[in-house]
């Protein structure tokens, strides 16, 4: 799939993610959220922002945490050796050996003074040829200023990713943490691999520090 990271380093430098299983799929963040995607200023689900569903795992970093469904059919957290060096944390979900979804976190990926500036940098960091679907405000626990970027791209079929041409939906949640450093939580998923309910719960689980 060879999706680029949000920013991939300062000032929008991109990372090819060609090394290691799971790196080719995505650098940061996915699934299609129906009508909820059209609502400005909401995470998308009914749960309280920052809440973690029972039995879920959590990617913890100094700037932001995000939770994910684990166990049979769920995500598995990657070690530092497995994930891209640009990611502070990452988890992947596989089906029959194919990576169908990833959740990644980047910290301090660009210089920005607002969530809007961070979102612009994140948009610049997505894979060449991606289709941007829009940017909007999103409610995340721990901050009053965050943006959501939705986009789609086609898998390259490399590095255990879905067959070439498979459409992937991506979501990037970005802004500034309490130290005024940028963060980006990215969720990427093959269409149909992540339902709207779980996508909303992942977004609502985000906690900014």
Contact (CB, 8 A) for 135 and 148: yes
What would the mean pLDDT of 19-37 be, rounded to a whole number?
37
Predicted pLDDT at 33: 30
What would the mean pLDDT of 69-97 be, rounded to a whole number?
96
CA dist 143 and 131 (Å) reads: 28
pTM: 0.80
Nearest to 188 by CA among 111, 84, 52: 84
Q: 108 to each of 15, 63, 121, 180, how far by Cα in Å?
A: 15, 9, 11, 9
Q: What is the CA radius of gyration of the chain?
A: 15
- The CATH architecture of the domain made up of 10-208 is 3-Layer(aba) Sandwich (3.40)
CA dist 28 and 70 (Å) reads: 18
Task: Give me the percent of the chain exceeding a pLDDT of 70.
Answer: 78
Nearest to 52 by CA among 194, 208, 177, 204: 204
- Mean pLDDT (the chain) is 83
CA dist 53 and 70 (Å) reads: 11
- CB neighbours of residue 94 within 10 Å: 17
pLDDT per residue as tens digits for the range 97-155: 999 999 999 999 999 999 999 999 999 999 888 999 999 999 999 999 999 999 999 99
Residue 80 has, within 13 A of its CA and on its CB side, a CA count of: 3
Burial class (CB in 10 A: 0-12, 13-18, 19+), 133: middle
Predicted pLDDT at 94: 97
Residue 162 predicted with pLDDT over 70: yes
CA dist 203 and 75 (Å) reads: 15
What would the mean pLDDT of 28-43 be, rounded to a whole number?
32
For the chain, domain boundaries: 10-208
Task: Please list, in sequence order, all residues whose beta carbon lies within 8 angstroms of the beta carbon of residue 47, skipping any fewer than 6 positions away.
Answer: 53, 200, 201, 204
């Amino acid at each position: 799939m060879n999706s680029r990271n949000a920013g991939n380093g300062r000032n929008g430098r991109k990372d090819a993610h060609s090394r290691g299983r799971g790196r080719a799929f995505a650098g940061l963040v996915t699934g299609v959220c129906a009508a909820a995607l059209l609502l400005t200023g909401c995470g998308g689900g009914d749960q309280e922002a920052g809440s973690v569903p029972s039995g879920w795992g959590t990617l913890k970093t100094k700037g932001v945490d995000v939770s994910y469904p684990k166990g049979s059919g769920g995500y598995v957290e990657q070690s530092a050796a497995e994930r891209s060096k640009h990611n502070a944390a990452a988890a992947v979900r596989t089906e029959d050996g194919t990576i169908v979804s990833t959740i990644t976190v980047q910290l301090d990926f660009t210089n920005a003074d607002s969530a809007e500036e961070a979102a612009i940098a994140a948009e610049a960091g997505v894979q060449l040829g991606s289709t941007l679907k829009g940017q909007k405000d999103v409610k995340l626990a721990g901050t009053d200023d965050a943006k959501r970027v939705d986009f789609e791209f086609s898998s390259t079929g490399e590095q255990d990713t879905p067959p070439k041409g498979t459409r992937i939906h991506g979501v990037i949640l970005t802004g500034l943490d309490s130290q005024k450093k940028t963060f980006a939580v990215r969720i990427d998923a093959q269409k149909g691999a992540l339902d709207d309910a779980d996508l909303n719960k992942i977004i609502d689980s985000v906690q900014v520090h």
